[in-house]
Structure 1
Amino acid sequence: MKPSAIRALWTYENRLLLILFLTFGFVFFDRLALSFLFPFMQDELDLSQTQLGMISSALALTWALSGAIAGAWSDSRAKRKALLVVSVLGFSICSALSGLVGGFISLLVFRALMGLAEGPVLPIAQSLMIQSSTPSRRGLNMGLLQGSSAGLIGAMIGPPVVIGLATHFGWRVAFYVTVIPGMLIALCIWRWVHEHPGGAPAADAKPAPINRWALLRERNVLLCMLLSCFFLTWFIIIISFAPTFLVKYRAFSPGDMGLVMTCLGAAWVFWGFAVPAISDRIGRKTALAIFAPIAAMCPIALIYGDSAVALGAVVFFTYNGLGCFTLFMATVPAETVPPQVLTGALGLIMGAGELVGGFVAPTAAGLAADHYGLPVTMWIAAAGALVAGLLALGLKETAPLVLQRRAAAGVAGAAP
């Protein structure tokens, strides 16, 4: 490729997308590491399924609180870049410190601190990307940033890496090495990411005051908050309990479990951009209503799937919810609320989902698993996706192409 062609590709938009892709992907690499390592550390630390749920809940609670607060703060202070660097360094250190734990309490504390650091990453990354995206690429950019990045790095590359490290060097070493890529990503953000697309704010960049509580009266924002609650229930329960469920209940070997989870990651990567791209054509509301019930079949397949290969194939075609996440967590809000409060709105929607789906649901599922068996966790996950599909029917459509078609049809229908 000629140097001129490389320079044409290496625009700020593409550079920012690559850096934020790596950033959020590594967030999920760290977040999901505990789920993949839990079967290795459960006996040594004498941990129960309830405690696994509580650890996931603690991280989700601090993630929710810090994400909502930091999103509103960054809107008013315009300090997104510095906060993003601090967040990446913070969660990387806390993830590495998880390898020093000696029991449930210390693990709970370190994971809660990690959630506190990770919370601001997604709303800040989303707002930076939306601000720098050309309109024709907005859906693709957001799908790659939130959906495909977490799937590729967190759920596809993550399982074989952390399971391999745990198998050969021990689960503690698997936690320790996570600090290295985090430091490199923080350096890239500091060096190449701008607070504003042009590198400097406009002279009139200070936004007019807007009542942030008015966001709660916006129908799409409220529905996106509810969608976040139920779809996060689906996601967090699957990603928290599936590795242990496959090894402890289904008697899969660690290698077969890793294969299934890698197929899950491959689905995450594909559907992460495919669902948003499809929604550009058929509408955000229609896409959510179609794909949410399909996502509900994924945890049911984990209960009844026979071989690792067959189960991996089914998981690939049904684990599409992370593409839906991009719609209600980023695209629909971005097409609904004013830019001045976008980061705060994204933090509010993410925070609500983490509070209910991330904090309450895993602990409830862990308690249910200890009393009724691990399969109940998968049924709870399936119910979450089904409810999300029903809620999506109440959304106001925001996809530009769909709205243009409707407007054109209305004009044609009104013509004599």
Structure 2
Amino acid sequence: MARSRWYPFILVGLLFGFWGLVGVNRLGIQFLFPFIVKDFRLNLTQVSLLVSGTSATWAISSWLSGWLSDRYGRRNVLVPGALFACVMTMAQGLAGSFLALFVVRDLVGIGDGVGWPNGQSTLAEEVPPDRRALVAGIFTSGYPLFGSVIAGLIFAPLALALGWRWVFPIAGVFFLVVVLLLWLVMREPPRKERPERLDWRHAFGLVRDRRVLLLMLIQSGALGWLQVGVVVQVLFLQRVLHASPVLAGRVVAISTIGAIAGTLLLPALSDYVGRKPTIVVGALLSAVLLGVYVIGQFPIGIATALLTANAFFEAAIIPLGSATYVVELVGEEHRATTMGGVNLVGVVIGTFLLPLLAGTVGDHFGLPNAYLIAVVCVAIAGLLALALPETAPRVLSRRAGATATA
């Protein structure tokens, strides 16, 4: 497709859909856990392994795919990885044991991992700088919309009607349609800079930049909040708040609408008030609200409201901390490598180690104590953001104008 004035909008829509279907793989399984736990007789530690195993391969894939795409092109890495993720999504329905499902989900992570660094880098290179935060938010919102809202509303009813194994191939068919459209439509984005060769020293040298190291740790906290929730959220609603699997799915879907609203509104707000205050205030408010939700164990209506508000305020962290900040701090020559590196550390800590910790804590000390790990994660992310510089172009321009006037 030639680059018409409609091309960026079509590309945003397709990448939004692709990232949403990645969200189905990562978040949607929580709505099937009641069925999988019963079928395979799993404890909470094994449940956490189904989340953490995918995260380990995702982390490596995210970093390597970003590094490769800086040299060989976004499309050449993104489309094959997306196709592999599609095939592995369908294959999950064939798993006949915990071990088989664990292995297939590890393979899913390889394909899913290409999405974040390459999708966000592509959009940053196709849209004007003053729209980057908004577009990053739109892209990010596909993940919770598909993974928690749509999956939350339909996965449990589908599993009750057809069995949980059929849910994955059905999702995979939609995944395949989006991937084929990406293959037909997507063109390599224009770039002024591209490394002449792959340099391992740069790939490993990211941590020498204090700002990038901070973003890695902030991403770890944000993803820890997210994936600890995937491990315990539906089971907490069932076992502690006594919701049915279908009602639990609806509660998560409603709360995720709050996350989507936050993902769209808060990054756009940060263009005017600044990246740093948006992350700091959002993260700390999210921590307080989630802590009240877990400790209070309120009736389902109040619990849903608290969970929704918590998700709204947390939603600023990932698009700003691991996409917009990277774009505004790092040159385009190594942009996807840096995004992949931030995601690598964030995924290893936040979606591999912390869910395992939550599963172990839940087995020995109860689900509420496991859930409090998510509260600590998002609070730490907010406090770490205090050390970041401000990068929003409008805010910096306003400050420069005020300084010149003074």
TM over 0.5: yes
Q: Deviations over 1:182-208 (max 9, x none)?
A: 1101111111111125xxx7xx76446
Task: Say if 2:94 is the partner of 1:106.
Answer: no
Aligned sequence identity (%): 31
Letter in 2 for 1:354: V
For 2:316 and 2:4, the matched residues in 1 are separated by 25
Offset of residue 127 of structure 1: 0.6
Q: How many residues align?
A: 399
2:68–2:77 Cα contact (<8 Å) kept? no
| Residue 313 (structure 1) aligns with | 305
User: Any runs of at least 4 consecutive aligned residues in structure 1 with deviations exceeding 6 A, and if so which?
Assistant: none
- Is the 1:30–1:92 Cα contact (8 Å) retained in structure 2? no
Q: Pick from 68, 71, 76 the counterpart of residue 73 of structure 1.
A: 68
Query: What corresponds to 2:274 in structure 1?
Result: 283
The alignment status of 1:141 with 2:135, answered yes or no, reads yes
Helix, strand or coil for the counterpart of 1:102? coil
Structure 1 window deviating more from structure 2 (174-183 vs 299-308): it is: 299-308
- Among 9, 15, 27, the alignment partner of 2:10 is 15
Q: Distance in 1 between matches of 2:76 and 2:231?
A: 31
Q: Give the partner amino acid of 2:361.
A: A
Look up the match of 1:304.
Answer: 296
- Give the Å deviation of 1:390: 0.8
Q: Which residue of 2 aligns with 1:3?
A: none
Kept after mapping to 2: 8 A contact 1:151/1:267 = no
Identify the residue that residue 383 of structure 1 maps to in structure 2. Answer: 376
Please report how far the alpha carbon of residue 252 of structure 1 lies from its aligned counterpart in structure 2 after TM superposition: 0.9
Q: Counterpart of 2:13 in structure 1: which amino acid?
A: L
CA contact (8 A) 1:142 1:330 kept: yes
1:252 to 243, 246, 253: 243
1:31 to 1, 26, 47: 26
How far apart, in 1, do the equivalents of 2:310 and 2:193 lie? Answer: 44
* 1:90 pairs with 2:84: yes
Q: Which runs of 5+ in 1 are unaligned?
A: 1-7
Residue by residue, what CA displacement relative to the aligned partner does 1:262-283 show, whole Å, maximum 9, x if unpaired?
Answer: 1122012100111101111111
Structure 2 length-normalised TM:
0.94
CA contact (8 A) 2:241 2:300 kept: no
TM-superposed CA distance for 1:106, in Å, is: 0.8
Aligned to 1:5: none
Match of 2:39 among 14, 26, 44: 44
Contact 2:28/2:148 (CA < 8 Å) preserved in 1?
no
Q: Residues 284 and 399 of structure 1 are in contact (CA less than 8 Å); yes or no, is this contact kept in structure 2?
A: yes
What SS is found at the alignment partner of 2:71?
helix
- Residues in 2 aligned to 1:189 and 1:409: alpha-carbon distance in whole angstroms: 45
After superposition, the C-alpha distances for 1:330-351 in whole angstroms (9 at most, x for unaligned) are 0001000010100000000011
Q: Distance in 2 between matches of 1:157 and 1:139?
A: 24
* CA distance, structure 2, for counterparts of residue 24 and residue 298 of structure 1: 27
Question: In the alignment, what sits opposite 2:389?
Answer: 396
Q: Counterpart of 1:270?
A: 261
Q: Secondary structure of 2:96's partner?
A: coil
Q: Deviations over 1:5-31 (max 9, x none)?
A: xxx996111111001010101100122
| Greater Cα offset, 208-217 or 349-358 | 208-217
- The amino acid of 1:259's aligned partner reads R
Structure 1 position 256, deviation (Å): 2.0
- Aligned-residue CA RMSD in angstroms? 1.8
| Paired residues of 1:154 and 1:265 also in contact (CA < 8 A) | no
Secondary structure at 2:387 match in 1: coil
Given that residues 74 and 343 in structure 1 are in contact (C-alpha distance below 8 angstroms), is that contact kept between their aligned partners in structure 2? yes
Compute the displacement of 1:83 (Å).
2.2
The answer for the alignment partner of 2:212 in structure 1 is 221
For 1:232, the aligned partner's letter is: L
* Residue type of the alignment partner of 1:131: E
Question: Which of 301, 326, 340 is the matching residue for 1:333?
Answer: 326
SS in 2 for 1:179: helix
Alpha-carbon distance, 1:92 to partner: 2.0
Query: Separation in 1 of the partners of 2:90 and 2:207?
Result: 38
1:166 to partner: Cα distance: 0.7
